């Protein structure tokens, strides 16, 4: 007979009880790995299945576009979207918190599922023009599809993958019945690496589409939506930006010379496009001495193929500053204005390209001399409990302290350790939630940093781009409407 130390037994039992107690108090937050189907048909109720972990308690849904929904259990929702075609965002939430961000297509093309036997041209899956296929690439493999077209019939063939958060870096190839290449595309400009070809059938007959990953990768995260026919799905439905809303001002032609410059206020968001050869847009504004501004362009993050170049001139035409069109950003220019007066900002397409999908958005704001980033875009907390946020700072010409705060938050949240000290690159801020929060609800907020320059307080918002890029791995430029928003889910203590 062996003897067992009773204190050891009690220690194991006690530790087990603690673990069980922790598990019962803190339920894991919902996570979404995949959805099926990949698209909603506007105005049509569609049952969407969410696959992932801890989805049983996530019975509510947030969408960036107008929609009605009904939870039908086990990670399934019946959703009716009331929005134009494009890409939308969503999160699920419930008593165990809010999920990470996911994307879905809004598409009026009927959806069919990919077969598992379409790995050669001889076994290509038949698809009607006007339909869409939800598929997944397998490692070291190809997916083949065939369709029939009449001579002279024009259509678009498009892959929607990176724009939905897929890891797929697609390559699209179109061949005739004899196997001769008719069209091929790797990266369509402005579409985050997704592929697109415009095709006119040279004769009546069958045509074949080959889809693969550029590096022959594959797996459950290499999903895609193949659309045959119809207009490209390039627009987004991400709702409003987390940034403070400003008045949007559309350019008025002609404004391509200094004499015809359009008068604007720097408080306006300016939107324009280049749709003719040699097009350039000039904007004129008045500023006071001592103002230090950052002019920032959004193009690729909006789905535009524009390579923007900004130039700032004085009233007499002297160049004061110019952006670098080869930089990794979409176009940024910073300048300190030495005197009162009129100034002129000119924007051009760096390569001289022009067409309807070459557009831009310009926002001017006080230059803080820093950039803030967060490594997450969601947190979950129980009423009266705390969570930590690591805030990183990249400094240009400002080396002083940065005081952090929360924006768009209800009252009652307390902050500690919320100052990034002089010369430091980060801080882990603690946020304590009030005990009046309601479990099963959620909200969004932003982290803002305040610096003091020349006797003025300048605020800048922290970007969540690092977290969004992990979730949307092929998106080089994250949508500005999604950047900077942190989702907070309120969980139950059971």
Residue 467's pLDDT is: 96
Q: Is the peptide bond before 254 cis (omega within 30 degrees of 0)?
A: yes
240 burial level (CB within 10 Å; 0-12, 13-18, 19+): exposed
pTM score, whole prediction = 0.88
User: Does domain 370-490 match CATH 2.60.40.10?
Assistant: yes
Could you tell me which residue, 450 or 74, shows the higher pLDDT? 450
Residue 366's pLDDT is: 94
Please compute the mean of the pLDDT values over residues 273-277 and round it to a whole number. Answer: 93
Average pLDDT, the chain: 91
The CATH number corresponding to 248-366 among 3.30.70.20, 3.40.1360.10, 2.60.40.1180, 2.60.120.380 equals: 2.60.120.380
Residue 242's pLDDT is: 61
Confidence of residue 326 (pLDDT cuts 50, 70, 90): confident
Which token pair is 357? 């999908």
Domain with CATH 2.60.40.10 in the chain: 31-106, 370-490
Which token pair is 379? 């947190």
106 burial level (CB within 10 Å; 0-12, 13-18, 19+): buried
| pLDDT tens column, 465-477 | 999 999 999 988 8
| pLDDT tens column, 359-402 | 999 999 999 999 999 999 999 999 999 999 999 999 999 999 99
Asked if residues 305 and 284 have their Cβ atoms less than 8 Å apart, the reply is no
Residue 244's pLDDT is: 61
| pLDDT tens column, 438-459 | 999 999 999 999 999 988 999 9
The CATH number corresponding to 31-106 among 2.60.40.10, 3.40.30.10, 2.40.50.140, 3.40.630.10 equals: 2.60.40.10
Residue 238's pLDDT is: 84
Residue 139, classed as helix, strand or coil, is coil
The percent of residues in the chain predicted with pLDDT above 90, rounded, is 82
Residue 258's pLDDT is: 95
Confidence of residue 236 (pLDDT cuts 50, 70, 90): confident
Q: Give which of 168, 179, 177, 180 is closest to 212, Cα–Cα.
A: 168
Q: How many CB atoms lie within 10 A of CB 141?
A: 15
Long-range contacts of 110-113 (CB under 8 A, 24+ apart): 110/41, 111/37, 111/38, 111/39, 111/41, 113/37
The percent of residues in the chain predicted with pLDDT above 70, rounded, is 93
Residue 97's pLDDT is: 96
The torsion angles phi and psi of 117, rounded to 5 degrees, stand at -115, 25
| pLDDT tens column, 57-67 | 999 999 999 99
Residue 245's pLDDT is: 63
The torsion angles phi and psi of 17, rounded to 5 degrees, stand at -65, -40
Asked if residues 374 and 387 have their Cβ atoms less than 8 Å apart, the reply is no
Please compute the mean of the pLDDT values over residues 393-413 and round it to a whole number. Answer: 93
Asked if residues 357 and 234 have their Cβ atoms less than 8 Å apart, the reply is yes
Residue 10's pLDDT is: 36
Q: What is the DSSP letter of 326?
A: T
Confidence of residue 74 (pLDDT cuts 50, 70, 90): confident
Which region among 81-95, 232-246, 355-369 has the lowest average model confidence (pLDDT)? 232-246
| pLDDT tens column, 26-49 | 569 999 999 999 999 999 999 999
Is the pLDDT at 3 greater than 80? The verdict is: no
Which token pair is 187? 């990266």
Which region among 124-138, 173-187, 232-246, 300-314 has the lowest average model confidence (pLDDT)? 232-246
Residue 454's pLDDT is: 86
Domain with CATH 2.60.120.380 in the chain: 111-232, 248-366
Is the pLDDT at 19 greater than 50? The verdict is: no
Among 228-232, 389-393, 411-415, name the most confident range: 389-393
Strands (E) located in 138-256? 143-149, 154-160, 170-176, 181-185, 196-200, 205-213, 223-228, 236-237, 248-250
Confidence of residue 189 (pLDDT cuts 50, 70, 90): confident
Class of the CATH domain delimited by 111-232: mainly beta
Residue 1's pLDDT is: 31
Please compute the mean of the pLDDT values over residues 253-271 and round it to a whole number. Answer: 95
């Amino acid at each position: 007979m062996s003897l067992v130390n009773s204190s050891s037994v009690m220690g194991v039992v006690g530790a087990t009880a603690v673990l069980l107690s922790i598990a019962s108090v803190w339920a894991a937050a919902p996570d979404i790995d995949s959805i099926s189907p990949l698209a909603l048909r506007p105005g049509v109720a569609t049952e969407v299945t969410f696959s992932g972990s801890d989805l049983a308690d996530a019975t509510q849904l947030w969408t960036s576009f107008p929609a009605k929904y009904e939870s039908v259990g086990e990670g399934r929702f019946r959703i009716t979207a009331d929005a134009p075609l494009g890409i939308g965002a969503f999160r699920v939430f419930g008593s165990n918190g809010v999920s990470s961000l996911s994307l879905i297509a809004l598409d009026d093309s009927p959806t069919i599922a990919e077969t598992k036997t379409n790995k050669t041209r001889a076994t290509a899956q038949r698809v009607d023009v006007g339909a869409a296929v939800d598929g997944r690439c397998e490692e070291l493999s190809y997916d083949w599809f065939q369709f029939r077209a009449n001579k002279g019939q024009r259509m678009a063939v498009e892959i929607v993958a990176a724009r939905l958060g897929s890891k797929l870096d697609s390559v699209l190839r179109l061949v005739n019945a004899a196997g001769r290449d008719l069209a091929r595309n790797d990266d369509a400009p402005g579409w985050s690496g997704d592929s697109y070809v415009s095709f006119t059938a040279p004769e009546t007959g069958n045509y074949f589409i080959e889809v693969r990953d550029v590096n022959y990768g594959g797996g459950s995260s290499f999903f895609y939506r193949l659309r045959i026919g119809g207009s490209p799905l390039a627009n987004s439905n991400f709702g409003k930006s987390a940034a403070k809303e400003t008045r949007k001002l559309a350019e008025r032609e002609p404004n391509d010379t200094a004499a015809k410059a359009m008068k604007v206020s720097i408080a306006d968001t300016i939107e324009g496009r280049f749709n003719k050869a040699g097009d350039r847009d000039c904007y004129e504004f008045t500023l006071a001495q001592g103002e230090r501004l950052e002019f920032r362009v959004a193009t690729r993050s909006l789905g535009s193929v524009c390579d923007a170049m900004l130039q700032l001139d004085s009233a007499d035409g002297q160049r004061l500053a110019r952006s670098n069109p080869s930089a990794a950003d979409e176009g940024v220019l910073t300048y300190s204005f030495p005197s009162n007066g009129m100034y002129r900002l000119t924007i051009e397409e760096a390569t001289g390209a022009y067409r309807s999908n070459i557009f831009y958005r310009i926002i001017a704001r006080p230059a803080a001399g820093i950039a803030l980033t967060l490594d997450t875009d969601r947190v979950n907390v129980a009423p009266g409990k705390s969570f930590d946020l690591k805030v990183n700072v990249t400094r240009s010409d400002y080396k002083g302290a940065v005081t952090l705060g929360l924006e768009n938050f209800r009252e009652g949240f307390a902050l500690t350790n919320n100052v990034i000290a002089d010369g430091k690159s980060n801080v882990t801020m603690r946020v304590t939630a009030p005990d009046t929060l309601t479990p099963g609800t959620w909200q969004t907020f932003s982290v803002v940093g305040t610096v003091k320059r020349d006797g003025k307080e300048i605020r800048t918002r922290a970007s969540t781009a690092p977290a969004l890029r992990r979730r949307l791995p092929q998106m080089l430029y994250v949508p500005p409407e999604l950047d900077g928003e942190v989702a907070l889910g309120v969980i139950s203590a059971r």
